[in-house]
Amino acid sequence: MSKTLDLLNEQQKDGVLTTEGPVLILAGAGSGKTRVLTHRVAYLIDEKGVAPYQIMAITFTNKAAKEMRERIDKLVGFGGEAVWVATFHSSCVRILRRFADRIGYDGRFTIYDGDDQKSLMKDICKRLEIDTKIHRERSFLSVISHAKENLIEPEEFLREAEGDFNRTRQGQVYREYQARLMANNALDFDDLIMKTVELLRRDSEVRDYCQRRFRYIMIDEYQDTNTAQFELVRLLADGYRNLCVVGDDDQSIYKFRGANIYNILHFEEHYPDAKVIKLEQNYRSTQNILRAANGVISNNTGRKAKSLWTDLGDGEKILLRQFDSAYEEAAFVATSIASMANRREYSYRDCAILYRTNAQSRLLEEKLVADNIPYKIFGGVNFYARREIKDLLSYLKVIDNAQDDLAVRRVLNVPRRGIGATSMDRVQAYANSSGIDFYQALTKANQIQGMTRAAAKILAFVALIERSRQVLAQEGISKCLLYIIDQTGYADGLKAEGTDEARARIENIDELINKVILYEQETEKPDLNDFLEQVSLVADIDNLDESADYVTLMTLHSAKGLEFSNVYLVGMEDGLFPSYMSITAENADEEIEEERRLAYVGITRAREHLILTAARMRMVRGQMQYASLSRFVEEIPSEVIDGNLPAEIMTGNFLWEDDEKSPRYGSRAYARKNAAEVHRTSSAQKYAAAAKNFGDSGKKPLDYQLGDRVLHVKFGEGQVTSIVDGGRDYEVTVDFDRVGIKKMFAAFAKLRKI
């Protein structure tokens, strides 16, 4: 064991040898925390003589638990299998299987997954006569999950909700939900933690047994624990207090899942005698990348002070590129990857593209497909394979070709119209017997035997499709899509859910709208069938062999714990990252600190090469919006950046437009404050006009004027009929000879006078 310890640095060694009492190991990104945990287990067994079964090591994912188990077995050898290595949930299942009868459950209880929960909630809403078109089942489940993460029982929830009609109704649903779970001898995933805490609190015999059994407890990724998990750990460790928690407050990015950063920030308050050990030597990244990460995260106030360093050398500077549009940004990323692969600097598998929201992947996917670059999306699915996108594309497919039975069946009851499987089977039987397709059978629903109740709902669906076809013929694809979204209430239903997942799905819908509008603008004769064909070609990338060499695409949240030689952080703009939701929130400081931790995680995924990209213009729900460079980029020390931005941007000062109310020179912070204020008081459509208040626009004078003949690379020749000053850019209307009238932004259109 002593020879093995010689491979550790002094701080890592301290973490291994400090075995008694509470210990907090602050492990910076890439600092070897798993090595410390596994060597600590081996030291306890080999040198301290602790029985393996008295050691508990808890982590968050099965993958992490499996890796830890393998490394412990390799270090310890015989007997290592007796060490309790598991996730929080699997640990609780093992305890509850043995002692669940103490709290009224049978040890053979069922664990409900997400689908089981939805089915149960659907029955409860029906029993309580709740209109699920207004109050979605998912929103109730989200509220219940949040309550359980904070150990709030139904009766306590109802007491706190007194006087609030909506909260009281949620409490009643919660109470009924728990009663039904117990009647079914079932627990959901949140129950596994909460019910184990209840067991340990209520039953001193079980609590004493568990505390004697687990004399040494280690918790990995402690910054991700929620309130219930904190209480579980406290109850288990209170016997011997040999508790070692390992984590990094700077990587606490799961607040939306219930993670409570104060568990790690206030550890010494709960354990005043705790020893704090900092792991700051990084074994992953170059020093320039670490300087960037340190520069960003140092702006957070709610953190434990630490600074990463490495002996791997300075490495390359961080490349920063700002483009006129998101399209140019995506094209640059694809070209850069292809160039590096061709020069054999990096293989595809060495490259990762990280973004803040799933919706950003759409343009990137299309450019990668166009350039023949293999890729795979992690932590999500192909943009066009996402449920909400497939639903809306299926509507468009039905409008284009109602003979597509699969598409018709997919959307017939989406959103739900009360058309069940039995009704669909009757329609199919009628279609078969009549020798017609499924959609034709739907048009004759009132003639189908046994369809009295569902016929009206089916015919309403048919009427929607027929009206949508009229909109398509008269106003085009984008207006048709917007009509479907409006008439079905698809997005409204997601808004009513109010969950993070629902908000992400709305962002994806907005990105689909962007795609359709761009297709119409860039195509001489837009056609729905042609559009659907283009989309299907992009979606075909899913057929790639997963074992092949491919580029990784994922959200920043999904990237935690991973590392790549060459990383692209895209969309580094205020309003996107950090999001406007965080910038304009009531608790904006707290929300932005969470976003800044996410930026820190993204930067520290890179080993050798880091590229940051941003777009001055980005389309949002069909409207071109302007954005300044992300404040997180500005927090990176300028000496580690190789950028294409003016020096005044790099130093944080820039020219303002002449304005009596604005100084000639100002800080980016002032501009951001102004931007946030405009966002609060302006709609998205007014944003472009308000953008001129945000700082230096970089708007170039036009070399053409009203009435001039101009040339567009795709649309050909035309005459300028209108020029509107939109603040950061001019909105130009051109009557093209071949394709008619088009509106576009000057910087985006790149028109040339002829």
The pLDDT of residue 623 is 75
Identify each DSSP E strand in 60-131 by its residue range: 84-87, 110-111
Query: Residue 123: pLDDT above 90?
Result: no
| Enzyme catalytic residues | 33-34, 220-221, 251, 605
Q: Name every residue whose Cβ is closer than 8 Å to that of residue 117 and which is 6 or more positions away in sequence.
A: 141, 188
CA 263 to chain centre: 23
Query: Residue 702: pLDDT above 80?
Result: yes
Query: Residue 144: pLDDT above 50?
Result: yes
Q: What is the mean pLDDT of residues 574-581?
A: 90
CA distances to 528, 572, 656 from 323, rounded to whole Å, are 30, 11, 20
Query: Residue 690: pLDDT above 80?
Result: no
The pLDDT of residue 641 is 93
> What angle is formed at CA 319 by the lines to CA 647 and CA 296, rounded to 5 degrees?
75
Beta bridge partners of 730: 725
Which of 169-178, 276-285, 430-439, 742-751 has the least mean pLDDT? 742-751
Q: Name every residue whose Cβ is closer than 8 Å to that of residue 659 and which is 6 or more positions away in sequence.
A: 693
Computed on alpha carbons and rounded to an integer, the radius of gyration of the chain in Å comes to: 29
Query: Residue 209: pLDDT above 60?
Result: yes
CA distances to 6, 29, 43, 133, 278 from 11, rounded to whole Å, are 12, 15, 15, 57, 7
pLDDT band at 728 (very low <50, low <70, confident <90, very high): low
Query: Residue 113: pLDDT above 80?
Result: no
If one counts every other C-beta atom within 10 angstroms of the C-beta of residue 6, the result is 7
Which of 41-55, 231-245, 420-434 has the least mean pLDDT? 420-434
With a pLDDT cut of 70, the percent of the chain lying above it is 89
Beta bridge partners of 712: 716
If one counts every other C-beta atom within 10 angstroms of the C-beta of residue 727, the result is 18
Range picked from 121-135, 521-535, 574-588 for highest mean pLDDT: 574-588
Lookup result for tokens 């919006």: 625
Which of 110-114, 550-554, 557-561, 603-607 has the least mean pLDDT? 110-114
CA nearest neighbour of 687 among 675, 699, 673: 675
CA distances to 522, 688, 710, 713 from 721, rounded to whole Å, are 19, 20, 11, 18
If one counts every other C-beta atom within 10 angstroms of the C-beta of residue 475, the result is 12
pLDDT digit string, tens, across residues 499-514: 777 888 898 898 899 8
pTM of the model: 0.70
Mean pLDDT of the chain: 85
Query: Residue 620: pLDDT above 80?
Result: no
- pLDDT: is 727 or 435 the higher one? 435
With a pLDDT cut of 90, the percent of the chain lying above it is 48
Q: What is the mean pLDDT of residues 701-706?
A: 87
pLDDT band at 3 (very low <50, low <70, confident <90, very high): low
Query: Residue 570: pLDDT above 80?
Result: yes
Which of 263-277, 329-343, 372-386, 477-491 has the least mean pLDDT? 372-386
**526 contacts 534 by C-beta, under 8 angstroms:** no
CA distances to 122, 298, 468, 549, 654 from 176, rounded to whole Å, are 12, 47, 41, 51, 59
Query: Residue 473: pLDDT above 60?
Result: yes
- pLDDT: is 686 or 471 the higher one? 471
Query: Residue 671: pLDDT above 90?
Result: no
Query: Residue 387: pLDDT above 90?
Result: no
Q: What is the mean pLDDT of residues 621-642?
A: 88
pLDDT digit string, tens, across residues 304-332: 999 999 999 999 999 999 999 999 999 99
Q: Name every residue whose Cβ is closer than 8 Å to that of residue 616 and which is 6 or more positions away in sequence.
A: 322, 323, 324, 325, 626, 627, 698, 728, 747
Lookup result for tokens 């990348």: 289
The pLDDT of residue 726 is 63
The pLDDT of residue 348 is 94
| Structure tokens, 45 | 């067994």
CA distances to 254, 295, 478, 635 from 588, rounded to whole Å, are 17, 20, 35, 18
The pLDDT of residue 382 is 66
If one counts every other C-beta atom within 10 angstroms of the C-beta of residue 544, the result is 12
Q: What is the mean pLDDT of residues 121-144?
A: 86
Helix (H/G/I), strand (E/B), else coil: 716: strand
pLDDT band at 544 (very low <50, low <70, confident <90, very high): very low
The pLDDT of residue 541 is 42
Query: Residue 636: pLDDT above 90?
Result: yes
**12 contacts 32 by C-beta, under 8 angstroms:** yes
pLDDT band at 267 (very low <50, low <70, confident <90, very high): very high
